[in-house]
Amino acid sequence: MNDMLTDTNALANADAPSAVTSYDGAAAQLFRKVGKQKVTAEVATKRMAWVAELYAVRDNKDRAAFAELFGHFAPRVKSFLMKSGASPDLAEECTQEVMATLWNKAHLFDPTKASVSTWIFTIARNRKIDLLRKQRRPEPEDLPWGPEAEPEAADAMGLQQETEQLGRALATLPEEQRRLIERAYFGELSHSEIAAETGLPLGTIKSRIRLALDRLRHAMK
């Protein structure tokens, strides 16, 4: 099962007419292998395809895979940065740096802890603090994930599905509530103005990560 996620050759080098169908195909295969879960195949396929593309970048410096990720994410990173107060020029420059960081830090990505969308968001957010607010960003210290913590395909799939569900829940929130959450992330609300109740079904991703951390602590004893 691990092989499907860590062996990029199986994913990226699958014989297929184009890069896109290749990644989608590999992800779909992965889904069939792992999943008897409730979220639809297309949904998991989309998110697992991003994971496969990122692994292809990490392992094979695959520029076609990078181009796929770039086409999908760069315009959204730029949009996020502009909504956070960056001028179009600064947002453009910053977006290119964010996408270059994705290439350079691909080895740090772990699909059992974040969806690709989440991971790119954290890179964009850190760049935003650096560039727009001109501040250092203290980060929590890294946990010493041991070899026991090799990504499990089922865990990765579960987290991708839960993130997709979170995204859908966000889209179906009443307009006013959704706006409030967006404003919090664009920096239009201070922490004391952020209401504690978000209306989002929070708790599923948290408990999954919590379990992984408990397993890690146990393994390190």
Partner 1 sequence: MTEMSKIKHHLTGPLLMGYAAGTLPEAFNLVVATHISMCDSCRAALAEYDAVGGEVMMSGAPVAVAEDALNATLALIDRGVVEEAPAKKTAGGIFPAPLQSYVNGDLESVKWRKVGGGVSQMILKTSDEASVRLLRIPAGTAVPDHGHHGTELTLVLQGAFVDESDRFAAGDVEVANEDMNHTPVAEAGLDCICLAATDAPLRFNGLMPRLAQKFMNI
- Report the site for partner 1 in 46-105 (rule: CB under 8 A): 63, 66-67, 70-71, 74-80, 82-83, 88, 91-92, 95-97, 99-101, 103-105
By CB under 8 A, name the one of 15, 142, 175, 176 that touches partner 1. 142
Nearer to partner 1, 38 or 134 (CB): 134
Assess contact for 50 and 157: CB atoms under 8 A: no
Assess contact for 38 and 87: CB atoms under 8 A: no
By CB under 8 A, name the one of 36, 38, 191, 218 that touches partner 1. 191
How far apart are the C-alpha atoms of 148 and 163, rounded to whole Å? 24
By CB under 8 A, name the one of 6, 29, 60, 118 that touches partner 1. 118
SS (H, E, C) 90-135: HHHHHHHHHHHHHHHCHHHCCCCCCCHHHHHHHHHHHHHHHHHCCC
How far apart are the C-alpha atoms of 183 and 150, rounded to whole Å? 37
Shortest CB 32 distance to partner 1, Å: 25
Nearer to partner 1, 44 or 99 (CB): 99
Does 199 bind partner 1 (CB under 8 A)? Our answer is: no
Nearer to partner 1, 32 or 137 (CB): 137
Q: Which of residues 165-184 bind partner 1 (CB under 8 A)?
A: 166-167, 170-171, 181-182, 184
CB atoms within 10 A of CB 147: 6
By CB under 8 A, name the one of 42, 133, 146, 148 that touches partner 1. 133
- How far is the first Cα of the chain from the last one, in angstroms, to the nearest whole number? 26
By CB under 8 A, name the one of 14, 20, 154, 209 that touches partner 1. 209
How far apart are the C-alpha atoms of 70 and 95, rounded to whole Å? 10
Does 8 bind partner 1 (CB under 8 A)? Our answer is: no
With CB under 8 A, what is the number of residues at the site for partner 1? 83
Query: For residue 77, which of 18, 117, 29 has the smallest C-alpha distance?
Result: 117
